[in-house]
Chains A and B, each alone.
Chain A
Amino acid sequence: MPRQLLRDGRIAADDWTYLTEAANADAGNAEAAKAGVLGSAHPSNGIILTFDQWRSDVPRWRAARERLGVILSPADKVEQLAPDLSRFDLVGAEFPGPSEGRGYTQGRLLRERYAWRGELRATGYVRRDQVFFLARCGFNSFELPDGDLEAAAAAFSTFTARYQPSNDLGLALTLQHR
Chain B
Amino acid sequence: MYRYDAIDKTLVNERVAQFRDQTRRFLNGELNDDEFRHLRLRNGLYIQRHAPMLRVAIPYGLLSSVQLRTLGRIARRYDRGYGHFTTRQNIQYNWPKLEEVPDILAELAAVEMHAIQTSGNCIRNTTSDHLAGVTPNELEDPRPWCEIIRQWSTFHPEFTYLPRKFKIAVTGAPQDRAASLVHDVGVHIVRGPAGDLGFEILAGGGLGRTPIIGQVVREFLPREHLLSYLEAVLRVYNLEGRRDNIHKARIKILVKSLGIEEFRRRVEAQWESIRDGALRVDEAEVVRMRGFFDPPAYRKLVNIDPAAGKEAAFRAWYRYNTAEHKIPGYRAVYVSLKKPDVAPGDATDEQMDLIADLSDRYSFGEVRVTHTQNLLFADVEQEKTFELWQTLVRAGLATPNIGTLTDMICCPGLDFCSLANAGSIDVAKLINDRFDDYDYLYDLGELDLKMSGCMNACGHHHVGNIGILGVDKGGEEWYQITIGGAAGADASLGSVIGPSVAKADVAETIARLLDVYVEQRRPDERFLDTVRRLGVKPFKERVYAAPVAA
| B interface residues, Cβ below 8 angstroms from A | 5-8, 10-11, 14-15, 18, 22, 34-35, 38-39, 121, 151-152, 154-163, 227, 235, 238-239, 243, 273-274, 277-282, 285, 288
Contacts and interface: CB of A to CB of B under 8 A. Distances in A.
B278 A99 contact: no
Nearest to A100: B161
Interface in A101-123: 101-102, 104-105, 108, 112-113
A88 interface: no
A158 B151 contact: no
Contact of A100 (B5, B243, B273): B243
A174 B155 contact: no
Interface stretch (A29-37, A45-53, A160-168): A160-168
A101 B161 contact: yes
Contact of B7 (A104, A132, A133, A176): A176
Contact of B277 (A136, A159, A173): A173
B14 A163 contact: no
B121 A99 contact: yes
Interface of A: 74, 98-102, 104-105, 108, 112-113, 127, 129, 132-134, 136-137, 158-166, 172-178
A104 B160 contact: yes
Q: Is the interface of A mostly helix, strand, loop or mixed?
A: loop
B14 A108 contact: no
B155 A159 contact: yes
B279 to A, nearest CB: 6
- In this complex, which of B160, B274, B285 has the most chain A Cβ atoms within 10 angstroms of its Cβ? B160
Nearest to A174: B278
B161 A104 contact: yes
- In this complex, which of B155, B162, B227 has the most chain A Cβ atoms within 10 angstroms of its Cβ? B155
A46 to B, nearest CB: 27
B11 A98 contact: no
A172 B277 CA distance: 11
A163 B238 CA distance: 20
Q: Is the interface of B mostly helix, strand, loop or mixed?
A: helix
B116 to A, nearest CB: 11
Nearest to A133: B157
Contacts of B18: 158-159
22 contacts: A99-B38, A99-B243, A101-B160, A104-B160, A132-B157, A134-B157, A136-B157, A137-B157, A158-B14, A158-B18, A159-B10, A159-B11, A161-B14, A163-B151, A164-B155, A165-B279, A172-B278, A173-B277, A175-B282, A176-B151, A178-B5, A178-B7
A173 B278 contact: yes
Nearest to A109: B235
A13 to B, nearest CB: 25
A175 B278 contact: yes
Q: Give the 3 A-B CB pairs with smallest separation, nearest first.
A: A101-B161, A136-B157, A173-B278
Nearest to A78: B239
A108 B158 CA distance: 8
A109 B55 CA distance: 33
B279 A175 contact: yes
A112 B151 CA distance: 21
A166 B157 contact: yes
Contact of A163 (B34, B152, B274, B280): B152
Contacts of B121: 99, 101
B162 A101 contact: yes
Contacts of A164: 152, 155-157, 279
- In this complex, which of A98, A105, A134, A158 has the most chain B Cβ atoms within 10 angstroms of its Cβ? A105
Contacts of B34: 98
B161 A163 contact: no
B40 to A, nearest CB: 11
Given A99-B243, A159-B15, A175-B282, 7 more contacts: A98-B34, A104-B161, A132-B157, A133-B155, A159-B10, A159-B14, A166-B157
Contacts of A174: 278
A113 B160 contact: no
Contacts of A100: 161, 243
B239 A105 contact: yes
Given A102-B238, A102-B239, A158-B14, A163 B7 contact: yes
A48 to B, nearest CB: 23
B151 A104 contact: no
Contacts of B163: 101
B155 A98 contact: no
Contacts of A158: 14, 18
A126 B205 CA distance: 33
Contact of A175 (B156, B159, B274, B285): B285
A178 B316 CA distance: 48
- In this complex, which of A101, A165, A172 has the most chain B Cβ atoms within 10 angstroms of its Cβ? A101
Contacts of B280: 175
